[in-house]
Structure 1
Amino acid sequence: MHKEIWIGSAVGLILFLVFLGINVTPFLLVAVVIGIIFFMLMRQQAGGTGGNIALGRSKQQKHVIPRSNIQFADIGGQERAKKELKEALDFLVYKEKIEQYGIRPLKGVLLTGPPGTGKTLMAKAAANYTNSAFVAASGSQFVEMYVGVGAQRIRDLFKEAKSTAEKNNQDSAIIFIDEIDVIGGKRDGQQQREYDQTLNQLLTEMDGVATSDKPRVLVMAATNRKDMLDAALLRPGRFDRHISVDLPDKYAREQILTIHTANKPLASDVSLERVAQETFGFSGAQLESVANEAAIYAMRDGSEKIEMRHFGYAVDKVMMGEKVDREASEEEKRRVALHELGHAIVSEHVRPGSVSQVTLSPRGQALGYVRQNPMEDRYLYTKDALEKQIMVCLGGAVAEEIYYGGRSTGSKNDFEQALGMAQEIVQSGMSELGIVHLQYVDKTRIHDEVERLLENMLEKTRALLRQCDPVFQHGLKTLWDAEVLQGDEFRAVLKQYVPQQQEVAV
C-alpha cells in the first residue's frame, strides 16, 4: 500500500512541476538512478549475502556429483597409478590401522599426465572406493574479475564437501579440482592478483584440514601442466602424493579397447591386440574414440558387425582427421603416390612388417600418408634406430628426386622430423662430436654434424630406392586404381620384385 502511495505522490509532484513550467528532466534522471540502485539492493537481499558472492554460492550448489558406478576395474590399464591411488585412499578406509603405525593421513593427491589418460575417471572411482562424498569443480570456476570471489568459492567448496558427507552419514569426502593449474600457477610476487588470493585460500583450507576432523577431507586435483604449479602447493603436507597417469602401453591399450567394445558387435576378424599395436601413443580418450568411430563406420556400411577394416578407418580418422573433398590434379596425385611409396619401401626395409597401409586419399592437411605399425612400444632409441627412422622420413623426398629431379613442399614436415632426430643424436652424445654441451659448442660445428648425418642418410636412401623401380610402378598402379594399398599386399609386391631385400645395405 505504501508503495502505491509513494508512486502516486511522485507522479503528482512531477505533473505539478510541469504545470508550473519547471524543467523536470534532471528530476527524472535522478529518479531513474535511484530506482536502479533500489532494484539492485532488493535483488541482493533476495539472493542471500549479495552480489558476486551470491552468484558464487549459487554456482557452488552444482558441485555435488551424483554417485556414479565407475570402479577402478572399469579403467583400463594404469595399474601402477591405480595401485598408488588405492594406497592413498586406504588412509580413509582403514583409519585404525594407520593410527596403529602413527601415519599421518594424506591431505592431497595430485594426478598428472597428458589429456585423455583417465585422471577424472580415477577421481570418480576413488569416491566409490572409499564410500566418500564426491564434490568436483574445475579451476576455471574460481576465476573472476572481482577480488575475493574465487577465495569465497574455495571456502564454500570445502564447506559443501563436509556438509554433504555429514548429510549422507559418511566419514570422508573427496574434493576434486580439475585443471588446477588455472588457480595454482606460480606466484610472481609483483602484484596481488585475484589468482593469488584464490590460491592462498586453497592453501589455507588444506592446512586447516586436521587429521582428527570428521568428516575427513581428501583433496584430489588433476593437471597436465605440473611444471606451472606453485611450489607451496606441491610441498608435503598439502599435495603429499603425486601420481603420474601416463599414456597407456600396448597391454593397457588392449584393455581399454576391450572395455569400450564390450557392448559392440565385433566380427570374427577383429583383433584388438593388432589395433592396440597400431595405436602407439594414443590416450584412453582417443582409444574410446577409435571404438566409437569404428561402430559409426560399420553403421554407415550397413554391416551387422564391426569389422577390422572399420577399425582401420577409425584409427586413420582419429590420427589424421576425416577425409576431405580436396581434389588434386593428376600430376599431384602421381607425385604424392610416389612420395608415399618412398616412405613405405624404406620403412619396410629397415623394419620389416611395419607398413600397415599406404593411402592416396587426402585426410586433414595430408594428400596421402603411410600408416605404420610400430611393432613394439619403444621409449629408448639407439643411434641405429634413429638413423633408420631418419631414412624413413627422407624416403618421400628421395622418391620425388628420382622420378621428378627435385623436391616439393610436401617434404617440409618430413625434413622437420629428420632434423629433430639428427639433433637428438648430437645432443645424446652419439655423433662424432661425442658428449657435448650445446651451450658451449660452436653452433657451426653442430650444424655441420647434423648436415653430415642427414647427407649420409640421404645417400643410403637413394641407393635403396633406386633398386625398387618395379615396386614403385606396381604400387603406383594400385594406388591410382584403389587409392589404398594394404600392408600385406605391399609386402607381397616387395618380395616379388625385390627378392634380395635382405641383402640391401642399410
Structure 2
Amino acid sequence: MYLPFIGAGLGTILFLAYLGVPLLPMIVIIGIGVAIWYYSSAGTKVGSYWNKGSSQDQRNAIPNIQFTDIGGQTKAKQELMEALDFLIQQEKMKDYGIQPLKGILLTGPPGTGKTLMAKAAAHYSDAVFLTASGSEFVEMYVGVGANRVRQLFSQARKAAKNQKKNRAVIFIDEIDVIGAKREGSQHKEYDQTLNQLLTEMDGIKKNDIPVFVIAATNRKDLLDSALTRPGRFDRHIAVDLPDKAGRKHILSLHVKGKPIHDEVDLDKIARETFGFSGASLASVVNEAAIYAMRDEAKQIKMKHFAQAVDKVLMGEQIDRATSTEDKKRVAIHELGHALVAELLEPNSVAQVVLTPRGQALGYVRHHPKEDRYLHTKSQLEKQVMICLAGTAAEETWYQNRSTGAKNDYEQAIHLCKTMIDTGLSSLGIIDMSLIDPDKLSKEVTHILNELYEQTLNITKRHYSFLQDCLNLLLIEERIDGEQFRDLLARELVS
C-alpha cells in the first residue's frame, strides 16, 4: 500500500536532482519525518500485536487449580478466600454496606506459591483469569505501557462477557517493575504506566463487570504508596516460606502418582528441609524421581530423597579431582562440624558427605529439630561454634589451618554481628549505626576468640573419635546421621 508513495517520492527526488537542487537538507528533513511517523505509530502496532497474542493465549482462561491443590499457606489461603467472598457475595455486601475490594497484594519470597494462589483465586471466584508480567508493560516508546494496561482491563471485561461471567481477575506478576516509587517526574514511561494502572483500579468509569486485581512481588518496599494504599490494594497477604506441617503437605501433594517406597518418611524429609520454598520442595520430589530412574529402581526410596535434598541445597555432584591429603583435610574439617553440632544440638546431623557438590569439597547437612524463628544468646553462640568447628578440627589434627573455612568465618561473623545488634553482647543494647567500627571489630573478635577456644577444647577431647570416623568417611565418603550418632555414643561411653 506504500509503493505509490515511495515511487512518487523517488521521482520527486530525481526531478529535483535534475534541476540542481541540493538534496542533503531534503534527505535529512524526509528522514526526520519518517522517524516521527514510525515512532508515533510504533506504540499502537506493538500494543495491537501484544493484544492479539494475549487474547489467543488467554482464551477460556479459568485455571483448573483449587486452594486444596496448594500445600501449606493455610493462613494466606484463608485471607484470600475471605477477600474473594466479598467479590462473590455482592448482594450480602450491600446489606452490610461493605465497599468492594479492588485488589490484593501477595508478598513473599520467590517460589512460595503466589502465582498458584492467584490461579486458585480465579477458580474459586469462577472468574475469567488474565495474567501479565510487569516487564510486559515497559517499552522504550512512550505511551505503550499505559496503552497495554487499558487493553488488559478491556480484554478482561470483554472475555467475561464472551464467557458469560460477571467478574474477572487480573494477575500481575512482579508488579514492582511498573509500581516502583515515583521520583517526581511524570514523563517517564513506567510512571505513565503506573498512573494508568491507578486510574483503572480506581474504577472512575462505571462498568458492569468488576475487575479484581491480584499482584505479586517479593520487593514490597519498592512499591509506590499510591498503589499500596486502601482502595487500590486493600489487602496485603504474606505468602511466606512454609513451616514443617506445610512442607509435609506440599510433599504429599507432589508425591501423588509417583511410585514411592513404603520406607519413605515424609515427616522426616519435611523436618530436614527447613527454609525450603514450595518450588524447592517440588524440585526435591522431581530430583528424587530422577535419581530413582538413574538407578533403574522400581520405586523412589529414602536414599533418592536424601540425594535430591543435597542437590537442591548444594548443587549437582561433580567430578573434581583432589589429592589424597586435601581429601583427608576436608574429611577432618567436616567431621569437626558434625562432632560439635551433635554435641551442642543432639540429633541435628543428617549426614556427613565427602563427595564434592557445587562449590563445596564436602559438607555436613543439618536438620533442626523444630522450626526456629527466635534465637537466644546461647543458641547463637552454639551456631558460631559449629561454624568454627571445622577449623578447630584441622588445628587439632594438623596444628595449622587452611583456606577452606572462608565461608564458615563469614557465617560466624554474621552471627556475631546479629548478637551485637540485638543487644546480646557485652556492649548491651546499642545502635549499630552509631557504634565505632573499631569497637565493633574488637567485640566481634572477642566473641570469636572466646568461642573458638571452647570449640578447640571439644575437638581435642574427641581426637580419637575423629580418627575413627576419618577412616570410615574416607572409605564410604558418606556417614548417615544415625550411624554418626551411634559412633559418637560409643565414644562417650568409653
TM over 0.5: yes
Code of the residue aligned with 1:145 in structure 2: it is M
Code of the residue aligned with 1:324 in structure 2: it is I
Q: Alignment partner of 1:328: what SS?
A: coil
| Partners of 1:107 and 1:209 within 8 A in 2 | no
* Residue 117 of structure 1: aligned partner: 112
Q: Measure the CA separation in 2 of the matches of 1:371 and 1:326.
A: 20
2:293 to 295, 299, 321: 299
* Residue 388 of structure 2: aligned partner: 394
| Partners of 1:209 and 1:216 within 8 A in 2 | no
- 2:263 corresponds to 1:272: no
Question: 1:207 Cα deviation (Å)?
Answer: 1.0
Code of the residue aligned with 1:438 in structure 2: it is M
- 2:310 corresponds to 1:316: yes
Number of residue pairs the alignment of both structures matches: 490
2:194 to 199, 216, 231: 199
Write the mapping of 1:87-126 to structure 2, written as runs, cut at 5 A.
87-126=82-121
Write the mapping of 1:3-18 to structure 2, written as runs, cut at 5 A.
none
Question: 1:80 Cα deviation (Å)?
Answer: 0.4
Q: Measure the CA separation in 1 of the matches of 2:431 and 2:33.
A: 67
| Partners of 1:346 and 1:464 within 8 A in 2 | yes
Code of the residue aligned with 2:400 in structure 1: it is G
1:56 to 47, 53, 68: 47
| Partners of 1:209 and 1:217 within 8 A in 2 | no
Code of the residue aligned with 1:256 in structure 2: it is I
Unaligned runs of 5+ in 2: none
Code of the residue aligned with 1:427 in structure 2: it is D
Question: 1:301 Cα deviation (Å)?
Answer: 0.1
Q: Alignment partner of 2:261: what SS?
A: coil
Question: 1:154 Cα deviation (Å)?
Answer: 0.6
* Residue 503 of structure 1: aligned partner: none
- 2:147 corresponds to 1:156: no
Cα deviation code 1:220-255 (max 9, x no counterpart) = 100000000011111111111000000000000000
Q: Alignment partner of 1:371: what SS?
A: strand
Code of the residue aligned with 1:207 in structure 2: it is D
Q: Measure the CA separation in 2 of the matches of 1:69 and 1:108.
A: 21
Question: 1:190 Cα deviation (Å)?
Answer: 4.6
1:477 to 467, 471, 494: 471
Q: Measure the CA separation in 2 of the matches of 1:71 and 1:415.
A: 46
Cα deviation code 1:263-317 (max 9, x no counterpart) = 1110011001110100000000000000000000000000000000000000000
Code of the residue aligned with 2:66 in structure 1: it is Q
Question: 1:36 Cα deviation (Å)?
Answer: 13
Question: 1:209 Cα deviation (Å)?
Answer: 5.5
Moved more, 345-354 or 200-209: 200-209
- 2:413 corresponds to 1:426: no
2:348 to 348, 354, 365: 354
- 2:128 corresponds to 1:133: yes
Q: Measure the CA separation in 2 of the matches of 1:363 and 1:158.
A: 48
* Residue 446 of structure 1: aligned partner: 440
- 2:236 corresponds to 1:242: yes
Write the mapping of 1:196-235 to structure 2, written as runs, cut at 5 A.
196-208=191-203, 213-235=207-229
| Partners of 2:42 and 2:141 within 8 A in 1 | no
Question: 1:131 Cα deviation (Å)?
Answer: 0.7
Q: Measure the CA separation in 2 of the matches of 1:311 and 1:56.
A: 47
- 2:308 corresponds to 1:286: no
- 2:367 corresponds to 1:376: no
Question: Do the aligned partners of residues 373 and 35 (structure 1) sit closer, same or farther apart at CA in structure 2, a change above 3 Å counting?
Answer: closer
Q: Alignment partner of 1:465: what SS?
A: helix
Q: Measure the CA separation in 2 of the matches of 1:170 and 1:209.
A: 21
Question: 1:17 Cα deviation (Å)?
Answer: 12
* Residue 185 of structure 1: aligned partner: 180
Code of the residue aligned with 1:156 in structure 2: it is Q
Q: Alignment partner of 1:498: what SS?
A: helix
Q: Measure the CA separation in 2 of the matches of 1:172 and 1:192.
A: 33
Question: 1:192 Cα deviation (Å)?
Answer: 2.4
Q: Measure the CA separation in 1 of the matches of 2:358 and 2:83.
A: 44
Percent pairwise identity: 53
RMSD: 3.0
* Residue 466 of structure 1: aligned partner: 460
Code of the residue aligned with 1:271 in structure 2: it is D
Cα deviation code 1:418-465 (max 9, x no counterpart) = 111111111111122211122333333332222222111111111111
